[in-house]
Structure 1
Amino acid sequence: MMGQLNPIAVFLVALIALGVLGNNPTITISAAVLLLIQQTWLAKYLPLVDKYALQWGIILLTIGVLSPLVSGKTKLPNQFADFVNVKMLVSITVGVFVAWIAGRGIPLMGEQPVLVTGLLIGTILGVAFLGGVPVGPLIAAGILSLFIGKI
């Protein structure tokens, strides 16, 4: 006798298909890993993944961003004057703004977790079909918090 379909497993399979169709290995691998975890004895570790994966991801992303600097591929400006130009000041301002926006997204995701589904679907569509990068849910939650007035 066949059991009921697990809606989360079906959702993960759909994400895998979107990742393949959109030629986005990030979505494909992420959904496949979560499906594997969910459907095996590893499911007991899902609370750890749920609790710490975002932090692990931010750490890995930060390592990836800093590694060209550490490897010497990207150089630090030699002089103070190199820091004080329009492009550098705008990039610093945008960095501060995006970090602030993402910081607003974390509480919103915790307070209204049902919105996370919409943010994830939008992010996945943006990644799969528009060439986006899946760092979007956190920033999207921050932007959403501006629209709905949540801190």
Structure 2
Amino acid sequence: MIGEIILVGLIIVGLVGKSPIISTAACVLLVVKLVHLDRYLPMIERRGLELGLLFLTFSVLVPFASGRIQMKEITAALTSWPGWLALAGGAIATYVNGKGLEMLKYDPQLIVGLVIGSILGIVFLRGIPVGPLMAAGITAVLYKLFTMISERIG
């Protein structure tokens, strides 16, 4: 019962905050619960991130598939300083995501804070939820920074 109440609350938060992604996700999960398809929730939890990342990757790769990005544009992007920064950004992001995955394995209850923080970011900062791994990765970096600072102070 508490799960359904939380989902209804998230639907309301999504509507008030004009976040259709939160509202839609909460609605779909509420329907899954109400029509007694709870047995699929572990699969949705396990495969949902993969499916979401798959569709995100589709949307990023469509310009290549449609031919809107040509080889000369790729070469130009990779030989410019913004292109090199993008390469570095991609490499750093994957490293940080890995640290986030390690942190979630070590301390899985952090997912509650990550989910609530993501919802707050979507609703109040107009952010886009790209995944708990990046949020966990940023948390891991912040944790490391705070640990280093507290060791120096204390």
Check whether TM > 0.5: yes
Q: Per the alignment, in what secondary structure is the counterpart of residue 73 of structure 1?
A: coil
What is the percent sequence identity of the aligned residues?
Answer: 35
Question: What do the CA deviations read for 1:62-81 (whole angstroms, capped 9, x no partner)?
Answer: 11111122123333435745
Quick check: 2:49–2:131 contact (8 Å CA) kept in 1? no
Q: Within 2, Cα distance between the matches of 1:81 and 1:119?
A: 37
Q: Give the number of equivalent residue pairs.
A: 144
The alignment partner of 2:18 has SS state of coil
**2:128 is aligned with what amino acid?**
V
Q: Hey, what's the Cα distance between the residues in 2 that align with 1:126 and 1:82?
A: 31
Gap runs ≥5 in structure 1:
1-5
The 1:20–1:73 alpha-carbon spacing in structure 2 relative to 1, beyond 3 Å, is farther
Judged with a 3 Å threshold, the aligned counterparts in structure 2 of structure 1 residues 81 and 67 are, in CA distance, closer, same or farther, namely closer
Q: TM-score, normalised by structure 1?
A: 0.85
Name stretches of at least 5 consecutive residues in structure 2 with no aligned partner.
145-154
With over 3 angstroms needed to count, the CA separation of the structure-2 counterparts of 1:56 and 1:82, relative to structure 1, is closer
Q: Report the equivalent of 1:132.
A: 127
Q: TM-score, normalised by structure 2?
A: 0.83
Match of 2:149 in 1: none
- State which drifts further: 73-82 or 133-142: 73-82
1:81-96 matches, within 5 Å, as 82-96=77-91
How large is the Cα RMSD of the aligned pairs? 1.8
How much does 1:127 deviate?
0.6
Partner of residue 3, structure 1: none
- Is 1:105 aligned to 2:100, yes or no? yes
Cα offset, 1:126, TM superposition: 0.7
Change (3 A) 1:31 1:79: closer
Given that 1:69 and 1:76 are in contact with CA atoms closer than 8 Å, whether structure 2 keeps it comes out as no
Q: Larger helix proportion, structure 1 or 2? A: 2
Change in 2 beyond 3 A, CA 1:81/1:73: closer
